[in-house]
Amino acid sequence: MSGQVLASVRPSERQLAWQSMEFYGFIHFGMNTMTDREWGEGHDDPALFDPPGLDADQWVLALKSAGMTGVILTCKHHDGFCLWPSDVTAYSVASSPWRDGRGDVVAEVAEAARRHGLRFGIYLSPWDRTEATYGSGTAYDDFYVAQLTELLTRYGPVFSVWLDGANGEGPNGRRQVYDWERYYAVVRELQPDAVISVCGPDVRWCGNEAGDTRPDEWSVVPRALRDAERTADRSQQADDGTFARLVRSDERDLGSRAALVGHEDDLVWYPAEVNTSIRPGWFHHPSEDGEVRTVDELFTIHLRSVGGNSCFLLNVPPARDGLVRDTDVAVLEGLGRRIEDFRARRIEATVTVSSGTPGDVATAWPDSGRTPWRPADTDPLPTVTLAFARPRLVEAVVLGEDITQGQRVERVVVRGCGNGRWTVLAEANSVGHQRVLTFPPAEVDTVRVEVPQARDTAVVARVAAIGAAS
């Protein structure tokens, strides 16, 4: 298969902007929070929704302390209860005692996000267990589009419309065949800069909710992976509590050259998002207050997702009183410190390249390079060499491609030189927007990054060596 064909598949501007966000938060909050459920059955009394201390600024600041760049709110989950006063249903905060029926959670979160410099996104469940028209076809599509329109026109810019594939009705329940293309058209018209995620054409679900990542993640994949019904079929089908930690062993390779044989004329740019929750459940449950994930575990997921050509979506659920628990807040703050510490350990180095000019490749992390490095087309082994002023204990190397030129690197080898001896520190296949390769700490004075295989000429945006923690 031609490498030039594979390299010619490029991201859209909205996909580029999304990829640069890297790490953002999910907020699951609603009627389920009040009833201690994951999947509400609908028709719960709106009087149950009355969080006395709801503080959207506290939520957003907790996410920001972890280094997140955005927040996606579950504006309506499967039970159908709306966190904004919708014009097309009475089953919303307008029928609750909260804020005397004049409250709007969506508005409060969107405004808090803007105040604190985070981008805002929406989750609107296609499955609705309360709405009478669900399962009727066009009538329900009209209802869903009306709610989507409300959310996309009342709350300012939206960076993501997150479309869930869950449907637990089963063979004997109501079954709605969603008019996905109509939904997409509404998003494109009203919020053209928003990515449509999961059951959408812009951002691909990684395939599990456990925070697991593939050994190599590719952004150029067969168009068939964009099939929303296929994604829905592989999504959670029952509220059984086990799906959140389920990891399948199939589909580990979606985009290597071998995997793409036969799809040469049917490829798309469809990058991955890794999503999981800070707790076992997506909504807050008092019984899980002692099961908050540790900083170490979340930092590992962050390294593997943000450092594995994916974005990381971490759910943080506020409790019934409307506040994120102190334990979760402390973990998020600790995670933010770990991420900052990791970035601060970038080692200053003198850079040389095997051909061409290095541009900003050695100083561009954690930001993207203004001038990436492009080796000569005839370079037999494109190589970036980082030389340190003295021997240093190194535990990771951060790499990134200029993905405006596609995803090109198919093999990368990292070598280190200590006491005059070269050893292989790490190897990988895909790189993409960002790849973090970790390895046992090694004392070296030089690090060399080789690209022995690529789809067309590699275009490298960043190479950074990370010193070991003291």
* pLDDT at residue 237 in the model: 46
* pLDDT at residue 227 in the model: 83
Task: Find the helix or strand (DSSP H, E) in which 58 lies.
Answer: helix 56-65
Three-state secondary structure call for residue 139: helix
**Strands 204-205 and 460-467, sheet pairing:** unpaired
Positive or negative, the Cα torsion across 193, 199, 203, 208? positive
Cβ contacts of 364 within 8 Å, gap of 6 or more: 370, 400, 461, 462, 464
From residue 46, how far is each of 38, 83, 94, 105, 244 by CA, in Å? 17, 11, 9, 14, 28
* Residue extents of the structural domains in the chain: 3-344, 350-467
170 has a pLDDT exceeding 80:
no
Residue with tokens 């026109």: 153
* pLDDT at residue 244 in the model: 46
**pTM for the whole structure:** 0.94
Query: Is 181 in contact with 219 (CB distance < 8 Å)?
Result: no
**167 against 138, higher pLDDT:** 138
Q: What is the pLDDT of residues 205-262, one digit of tens each?
A: 887 777 677 899 999 999 988 887 666 565 444 455 544 443 343 477 888 998 888 8
420 has a pLDDT exceeding 80:
yes
* pLDDT at residue 236 in the model: 46
Q: What is the pLDDT of residues 142-158, one digit of tens each?
A: 999 999 999 999 999 99
Residue with tokens 């080692």: 347
365 has a pLDDT exceeding 50:
yes
- Other Cβ atoms less than 10 A from the Cβ of 251: the count is 12
8 has a pLDDT exceeding 80:
yes
Q: What is the pLDDT of residues 174-208, one digit of tens each?
A: 888 899 999 999 999 999 999 999 999 999 988 77
Rounded mean pLDDT, 341-355: 97
465 has a pLDDT exceeding 70:
yes
Which pair of tokens denotes residue 119?
Answer: 């981008």
The CATH superfamily of 3-344 is Glycosidases (3.20.20.80)
- Provide the phi-psi class of 431: left if phi over 0, else alpha when psi is between -120 and 50, else beta: alpha
CATH architecture of 350-467: Sandwich (2.60)
User: Percent of the chain beyond pLDDT 70?
Assistant: 94
From residue 460, how far is each of 334, 382, 416, 443 by CA, in Å? 31, 10, 19, 25
